[in-house]
Structure 1
């Protein structure tokens, strides 16, 4: 009889033990993940600086390595631009929207280069649109910049 009473008390506590264990596991798993997702944010202003100089600064503020072509290095465009509470990727995207350069992200490397003018013709493009974590973006639509083609 005592065995059954002990067993009954243990079973009564089981849901709360399962809940507590699950809560502790979720808490321990969420902390490191949120630290990795949140990028290092910064704020700064530049006056009359080249794209290459600004990219060099941005590369010191995060985990990405930024490579750029000689076209970027030799470009004479001087920009005056401010960044307020942005991460590295947002800063690069914002900066390059004011120039004729484009970028490609491969892992933790950002390659910046000048888009070459393609000859008129039909091209088939294959690929996967990925988010900043490298996961595929479902139902993504890709559009050619400056056109309605997509």
Structure 2
């Protein structure tokens, strides 16, 4: 759900800040829809459909392994999940509008911003990374720079 919410950020931001939206988010919609389909059809992550797995790719067999009634329920669940992520993204962008503005202003001055720029602008993430290797890299890089500065001072 987090990844889907994040993927909708560009489109939702266009909806919030411009009078019309572009087709630039079509790839994001495809990804979000595919994630929602997998949640419902393969992972049993829909309370309405239940803990059952319907294989999406059935090779040359083009019949669906469920009824038309179930197909309708599947469509409704996929729409519900995407709509929830869309609403969640909209709420976050509104709630964090000040931080979004900081990042937008930075992007106007620099074509690319780094993770270090994001930390400088917004602070460290409020939760630990699953893979802290990059944090260790940044820490060792900072320690090395501090050590080099100490060696060059008279």
Radius of gyration: which is bigger? Answer: 1
Q: Please, what TM-score do these two structures have when normalized by structure 2?
A: 0.25
Ranked by relative contact order (alpha carbons within 8 Å, sequence separation 6 or more), the top structure is 2
Larger % of strand: which? 1
Would you tell me which structure has more helix in proportion to its own residues?
2
